[in-house]
Amino acid sequence: MKSVKIIFLILLSAVGFSCSKSLVIENVNYAQHVESVVAPNQEGIVDDQRNNIRFSMLPLLEKEYGENSTDLPEFVRILRNSEGYYFITAEDFKYVYIFEPKRGELKLTKSILLAENGLEKPALNWRAPYIEVVSFNSDAPTYLDENGVIKK
Amino acid sequence: MKKLLYIIVPVLLMLPMAQISAQNSDFEIVKDFNSKTELLSHKIQNAITTTQIQGIEAELDSVEHKYADHQEIINHAIYPTTFIDKIESLRTNLISNEHRLYLIENQREQLFDLSNQVMAQRAEINRMYSQVDSLNREIELSQASEARLSQLVQNYRNRVEQRDRLLFGMIDSLLFTHQKLQATMSTEQSMETYMITDDSNPLAMIHQIIEQNIEATHANNAMLLVNDNLRMRSLQIQFERTWDRIKVDFTNVYSNDNVDWGAQIDSALKQWRMIASKKMWDSVDQYLAQNEIDLGAFDNRTSFYQAMDSFISEGYEISKDEFLVSDSFQEFVEFEEFWNETFKTKWIPKTPEGVLLSEEQISTIDAALTDWEETARPIHPMLAAIIALAIVSLTGFILVMAKARQAR
């Protein structure tokens, strides 16, 4: 009788284990082929309706310019790579910020310093599998992935 | 000055670099492509000559060539449209607009031709009017012999006829040009509105010609015969029918903000119609009076038909009461001669159908005349003599027979 109970429990747990195993779709490409150039509103909210992402610029401004900065850029440039990381920068920013999307948040993974005096007319291009950063500061573009600058 | 050059030259040299650098942004490429195609679309819509369209076509080719290497990125950015769809759509619009403009330019050339034709004909018609006027004055002043006067009258009538022939020709060319214009238009297209000065505006010329005809018809004196008045009435009818056909297109094409030519021509045509009609019926009345056919009063087709119908009915009733003699037969003969020799043979062919009488009315009069003839035709004298002789012989025979019976 005891052995029957043990077998029953083993079967039950096997069934339970097989049901709880989640489905995973692999090799998803999140890459956005053309950057979004979005004007933040007065509250610093960036709303990219084409790519369905909405967030506040204020933490990023604080990171870029220091505390209590309200110096909003005219446009924010956003591009997502195939891994799903967001690359964000703007005119006069020194950095390109790399964010990992989490549930209800964007988590900063890297800040790439590209111009001490601020980027002049920066642009983000998707050059699979990298993000290309161009600006008037440099004739040569810089290539990034979610880990940082790529040497090519 | 040198300092200024030192500043300007580097700036100018830097501009292409800036352009190149800006072109490195995919976003800018897409933005430029969108703005250029939008501008081209706007230019295509607003082009007014085929030359402009040809220029735009070259621009479109250049845009297509310039952005062809970026079409993958553009396709992503403008999804669900594609680079090729957008270029092809522009090219389709361009070709369609080019075709439309070609038709308009063709129309414009034809309209200029028409203006020139009308102007040339107007000059000739004016020359005729002045000849007719001077002949008219000469006739009025003439104290010369009857033969000379007769010659002048004949010349006058010839000139009036020539003038009318010119007007008929002008109406034909108006109609012909209008038909050519319509042939160049597809059903969904309307003619281009064409602003034109009064000097060369065919509508102004048409109006002037009508006014001249009103004046000329008014001035017609007794020298003109029924045939002349019938021809002038036919001219007026043909003019009116032509105008009805060309009115909408011509008033659309030769628009003029200051003058409502359509209404003015309508009003003038109405006046011309009234005068030409009155002159025609007056001359018919005059002709009948001269030929001692008394139909009574009439001044339009209905009253003319009623007058003839009454005349024939009365003659028929009188003829019915006559037996051996038939005075009304002479009246019948005169009327029948007018009806067949003049009215049906000379007048009807010279006027548009239904102006003098309708086909149905003519048939009714024909039938009534046949009845009248049967009733009015008197008995032949020889037949009357034979009947009288037969009656006398019969009477004599009866009397002889009666006497013979008494003798027995």
pLDDT single digits (tens) B28-70: 999 999 999 999 999 998 888 889 999 999 999 999 999 999 9
What residues are paired with A90 via a beta bridge?
Answer: A76
Compute the average pLDDT of residues B160-188. Answer: 67
Pick the residue of A50, A134, A137, A143 with the most B CBs within 10 A to test the interface with B by mutation.
A134
Q: What is the pLDDT of residue B243?
A: 85
Interchain proximity B76–A121, CB inside 8 Å = no
Q: What is the ipTM of this complex?
A: 0.80
Q: What is the pLDDT of residue A35?
A: 95
Residue with more model confidence, A85 or B371:
A85
Helix (H) / strand (E) element for A130: namely strand A130-135
CA-nearest residue to B18 within chain A is A136
Query: Mutual orientation of helices B226-253 and B202-219 as an angle, nearest 10°?
Result: 160
Whether residue A35 lies within 8 A of chain B, CB to CB, comes out as yes
Chain B positions contacting chain A at CB under 8 Å are 18, 21-22, 24-28, 30, 73, 76-77
Condensed to tens digits (0 to 9), the pLDDT of residues A3-51 reads 556 666 665 555 555 555 689 999 999 999 999 999 999 999 999 998 9
Compute the average pLDDT of residues A70-88. Answer: 94
* Percent of chain A scoring above 70 in pLDDT: 85
Compute the average pLDDT of residues B242-269. Answer: 80
The closest of B31, B22, B36, B170 to B90, measured between CA atoms, is: B36
Distance between B76 CA and the closest CA of chain A, angstroms: 6
Compute the average pLDDT of residues B324-353. Answer: 84
Helix (H) / strand (E) element for A143: namely strand A138-145
How far is B300 from B278, CA to CA, in rounded Å? 8
Q: What is the pLDDT of residue B252?
A: 74
Condensed to tens digits (0 to 9), the pLDDT of residues B92-125 reads 999 988 887 887 777 667 667 766 776 777 677 7
Name every chain B residue with its beta carbon within 8 A of the beta carbon of A135. Answer: 21
Q: B-contacting residues of A 52-81, CB under 8 Å?
A: 77
Q: What is the DSSP letter of A34?
A: B
Q: Which of A59-68, B254-263, B322-331 has the highest mean pLDDT?
A: A59-68
pLDDT band at residue A70 using 50, 70 and 90 as cut-offs: confident
Beta-strand (E) ranges in A44-129?
A: 45-48, 53-56, 76-80, 86-90, 95-102, 105-113, 123-127
Interchain proximity B27–A77, CB inside 8 Å = yes
| Range from B226-240, B293-307, B338-352 carrying the lowest mean pLDDT | B226-240
Whether residue A125 lies within 8 A of chain B, CB to CB, comes out as yes
Condensed to tens digits (0 to 9), the pLDDT of residues B203-226 reads 787 887 788 778 877 765 666 778
Backbone angles phi, psi at B221, to 5 degrees: -110, -170
**Angstrom distances, CA of residue B230 to CA of B164, B283, B355:** 11, 9, 9
Compute the average pLDDT of residues B254-276. Answer: 84
